[in-house]
Amino acid sequence: MASFRKLVELYEELDNSTSHMKIIELLAEHFQSLEPAEVKITAYLALGTIGPRFEKIDLGIGDKYGIQAISRAYNVDKEKVEIAFGNQGDLGDVASALNERQRSSLTLNYVFQHFVQIRDISGKGSQKRKINLLAEVLSKARPLESRYIMRIAQGNLRLGFGEKFLLEALALAFTGSRDNTSKVEDTYNICTDIGQLGESLANHGMDSLGKFSIKIGRPVQMMLASRVDTMEELNEKFSGTMAAEEKYDGERVQVHVDGDNIKAFSRRLTYISAQFPDVIEAARESVKAEKIVLDGEIVAYRQGEFRPFQELMQRRRKYHVEEYVKKIPVTVFFFDVLYLNGKSLMKWSYPERRQVLEENLVETEKVKLAGRVVSADFSRIQHFFDDCVEKGMEGIIIKSVKAKSTYRPGKRGWLWVKWKKEYIEDVRETFDLVIVGSYYGKGRRKGSFGALLCAVLNESEKRYETLAKVGTGFKDEDFEEINDLLKKYSIEKKPVNILIDSNMQPDNYIEPAVVIEVIGSEITSSPSHTSGQENSGNGYALRFPRFLRIRYDKGPGDATTVEEVKHLK
Ligand code: ATP
């Protein structure tokens, strides 16, 4: 049985490693030394979580509870813990400094099971029970172990890498080669539970790839759309009949209906049913099938009118949900179906799926089918686009109607292509960039950030490369929100998956976690930015970047890619 200590040693080694390859090797070697069931647990713990993204993973241990647990575990006054926390800023470090225990025999399983128990405590007196249980685990741990127990309990592990590294390490550990990473990634698009996938790879190696199918309750990665530069290109790409659907500016949602049990998942595959009880109820009313998985977009919608994205974002909340259900009514527009009564429909063509969708939904005020036209006459498509823009929509998504128009989870291919109004209104483009650094503000912005260093994703290198320093476009209310996020994600050391030129050194490094939408005029080349930089030559830079909004619905893995920027150049 694996000890927890071994995992802690791995954490320490990972924390001291700065090379991508080294991290993959360390992880792979560690995985190989474990039983399959331990691989499962370790896959979660290596990412600092205790389960797949689509389950509840928050243990509910804020600083206040953490301080009490440490005080109890090590018999130290709460005030003393608070002072140490004030000085050190990390409760993991505080716990390890106050812990004087020299021995421990904690197993990996013991620690993991206790994390799960802490998470599951709810109801009356839950605060006290959570603290007691965490204190019990801490009291049995050695100093170094308590550091990581605290960090995981608070969702604060931050080793500077994400799922992509882990998938690569699993490929190396169990298929014999990193070259199989993209196959492992494809499987992960369908089996999005990284622990389950890890365990299966440990058991069956290559044989487990491609064996997974969509399952109710486990969301698949969402299919995405590509973009083109001109409307003529659309016509060429889809020659003949095509479908054009309204493109809504809202939040992507995958709804899983299993009889009375209905769940909603976000584009990042997090569980969002609690935020949208009205969507769950609306689906209950509209869906005719016993078991079905639907794909759609939640939009702020009032009396037949589309409301702006910003309004919908106010629905992203833990508290006062009922109040906001009334204040900001939403409608969900469904455009796809992936599963019906025990059968995956992902290999079916889009026209076949659309038919199933229409047969299984009753439209109401709160549930609608995506509006569309299907035509071989391109001028009809153009008119449809104009109408959509008129109605306040973002644009259209053209969808292939060919026999091969399957649903491809996690893929941004040419079966779906978006065409947005920004593309014609102006030459300006929007980019989804990841914040990787910040600079101190001066003058009126003293005490706040002055500018943000932002990056695009280099998919093949699995790292973030800088494209712009964004210092304009922020409204007064944005500062507080962004400062909070910067505080949350700021890290001392530059993570290995960020590439920053020496000319651009920020005052603070920010862990890649927050995505912002930025508008800019054109892509130029620059010696100070690292995106697309080959052999230390010039990189791409965005001219006149301006902040538009925070994209909470996107994770760093959804950012604009270097390839996309290259395409626009
Ligand atoms: P953008 O940044 O342009 O809003 P995106 O980066 O969020 O788009 P894209 O792949 O560019 O994602 O566009 C697909 C997104 O558009 C989907 O994730 C979905 O949220 C949204 N969408 C709105 N209407 C539709 C539709 N009819 N069919 C498919 N996706 C739609």
- What are the extents of the domains in the chain? 224-423, 429-568
CA-based nearest residue to 386, from 415, 424, 414: 424
Least Cα distance to 435 among 421, 453, 448 occurs for 453
- 410 C-alpha vs ligand 1 centroid, how far in Å? 13
pLDDT tens for the chain, 569 residues long, are: 899 999 999 999 999 998 999 999 999 999 999 999 999 999 999 999 999 999 988 999 999 999 999 999 999 999 999 999 999 999 999 999 999 988 888 999 999 999 999 999 999 999 999 999 999 999 999 999 999 999 999 999 988 889 999 999 999 999 999 999 999 999 999 999 999 999 999 999 999 998 999 999 999 999 999 988 777 788 888 889 999 999 999 999 999 999 999 999 999 999 999 999 999 999 999 999 999 999 999 999 998 889 989 999 999 998 999 999 999 999 999 999 999 999 999 999 999 999 999 999 999 999 999 999 999 988 889 889 878 887 888 899 999 999 999 999 999 999 999 998 776 655 467 899 999 999 998 877 888 999 999 999 999 999 999 999 999 889 888 999 999 999 999 998 999 999 999 989 999 999 999 999 999 877 888 889 999 987 668 899 998 788 999 999 999 999 999 999 988 77
Query: How much is the pTM?
Result: 0.82
Pocket test for ligand 1, best of 254, 297, 384, 399 (most atoms within 8 A of CB): 297
Q: Which of 130, 140, 247, 399 is catalytic?
A: 247
- What's the rounded Cα separation, in Å, for the pair 524 and 467? 10
| Ligand 1 pocket, residue 335 CB under 6 Å | yes
Is-contact 539 489, C-beta < 8 A? no
Q: Is 225 in the pocket of ligand 1 (CB under 6 A)?
A: yes
> Which single residue is written with the structure tokens 């429909």?
345
Do 381 and 242 contact (CB within 8 A), yes or no? Answer: yes
Predicted confidence at residue 236, as pLDDT, reads 84
- Round to whole Å and give the CA distance between 418 and 297: 15
Nearest to 76 by CA among 91, 93, 59, 98: 98
338 pocket-lining for ligand 1 (C-beta < 6 Å): no
Active site (annotated) includes residue 247 = yes
Which tokens is 503 given?
């000319």
Topology of the domain covering 429-568: OB fold (Dihydrolipoamide Acetyltransferase, E2P) (2.40.50)
Query: 336 CB less than 6 Å from ligand 1?
Result: no
- Distance CA(153)–CA(133), nearest Å, equals 11
Phi-psi region of 89 (alpha: psi -120 to 50; beta: other; left: phi over 0): left
Q: How far is CA 233 from the centre of its chain?
A: 31
DSSP 429-492: EEEEEEEEEEEE--GGGTTSEEEEEEEEEETTTTEEEEEEEE-S---HHHHHHHHHHHHHHEES
Six-digit token string for 131: 């603290």
> What is the DSSP secondary-structure string of 475-505?
-HHHHHHHHHHHHHHEESSPPTTEE--GGG-
Supply the residue whose CA is at minimum distance from atom 1 of ligand 1: 249
Q: What pLDDT does residue 303 have?
A: 87
The yes/no answer on whether domain 224-423 falls in CATH 3.30.470.30 is yes
Q: What gap in Å lies between CA 568 and CA 522, rounded to an integer?
A: 9
Cα–ligand 1 centroid distance for 297 (angstroms): 8
Neighbours of 358 (CB within 10 A): 12
Residue whose CB lies within 8 A of the most ligand 1 atoms, among 223, 226, 247, 407, for a mutation test: 247
Report CA dihedral (12, 13, 18, 19) to the nearest 10 degrees.
Answer: -150
Element spanning 301, H or E = strand 291-302
pLDDT score at 428: 64
**Structure confidence at residue 389 (pLDDT):** 82
